[in-house]
Amino acid sequence: MNEATRIPPAAVELGASGEEFQNLHELIRKARANLNQNSWDYIVGAAETETTMRRNRMALDEIAFRPRVLRNVADVDASVELFGRKLRLPVMIAPVGALELFDPGGAAGVARGAGTFGAAHMLSSVSEPGLEKTAEAAAAALRLYQLYVRGGDAVVEDYVSRAVASGYSAFCLTVDTAHYSRRERDIAKRYVRASRVRATGGDFQKGLEWRTVKLIKDKFRIPLVVKGIATAEDAAIALDHGVDWIYVSNHGGRQLDHGRGAMQVLPEIVSAVGGRAKIMVDGGFCRGTDIVKAIAMGADLVGIGRLQCFALAASGEAGIVRMLELLEDEVIRCLGLLGVTRFAELDKSCLHKAMPTNLPHVFSAFPLLEIEPYRY
């Protein structure tokens, strides 16, 4: 950039820069231009009436902030330490299947982007290029592995062993997909992804029980995450089985319709866990303020799902890094305006129940974004 086009420091402070993407919604807009309708619907869609997905956003929008003032917030640090590593944000790129739909590099590019920035990455067992190749592509990143159980005990043990051998820092068992949901955007177009046609072993997922959690804890030392916990009762059972991380998730609204929003579930899980395990949460989180709300409510790590897909479709690996940079900028400004300089200074006293101002929608966090509706 030459001197004539150099952006003044004051403008950079206000959010302007030489980057192509200066707002998160610009990544979404570019993704929409790059994707066909089937791939687009895979990101934005949910189950049946899409009520759970909308409640994810509504639950976040029902929370307001209680800021404190006249505190020195000149030095705000958004980093945390988890899994023995320092992360620039308490953010995990959540497990999403079929990332190769959005960029040829698939999960490898996402993991590299997360590692370059300094965030955690959880690999879905149904995303290419798979367990070992993703680990090789992002050896330095903080990597976690998530499994859909589609085989017997020997298959589960094989996946855990391979995750340990490939340097993953935790192993995650997804437990909210006993039956695959009705994704009506796809049904209306009579579309079935090729990976779903090839998928086998669904009966193993339907038959999954707590005995598999016990099997993993008894045989392996890797930290265990259980994803899909949505009640205090199941959180208590997970604790009884020695689970290290409770992952509060409703699959982004893509499984059980008419479920509660993730941030409506989180308080009861925090109370039930009582500090005896760490807590992850995902479901509609796509702004820096969303991340701050979750940590203030008691979560330790926030999963970013759909937004990573938009970023990947918009600009590949570089889009993942830029998305995280923008989230970091939003988080730092939010923390400073709340009157705190570290996440450790947050608690529920920073939050207040409020009426949402926007109708909940997959894009309600991006009021400047307009997407032409598709006619099914």
pLDDT grade for 4, boundaries at 50, 70 and 90: very low
One of 25, 251, 258, 352 is an active-site residue; which one? Answer: 251
Q: Is residue 45's pLDDT more than 90?
A: yes
- Predicted local confidence at residue 16, as pLDDT: 73
pLDDT over threshold 80, residue 7: no
251 an active-site residue?
Answer: yes
| Per-residue pLDDT tens digits for 250-289 | 999 999 999 999 999 999 999 999 999 999 999 999 999 9
The stretch 112-134 carries a mean pLDDT of 98
- Residue 145 pLDDT greater than 60, yes or no: yes
Instruction: Decide if pLDDT at 130 tops 90.
Output: yes
- Residue 288 and residue 331: Cα distance in Å, rounded? 4
Arithmetic mean of pLDDT, 152-162? 98
pLDDT digits (tens, 9 = 90+) for 209-239: 999 999 999 999 999 999 999 999 999 999 9
Q: Is 240 exposed, middle or buried (0-12, 13-18, 19+ CB in 10 A)?
A: exposed
The reported pTM is: 0.95
Percentage of residues of the chain with pLDDT beyond 90: 92
Is the pLDDT confidence value at 240 over 80? yes
342-370 average pLDDT score: 96
Average pLDDT over residues 317-344: 98
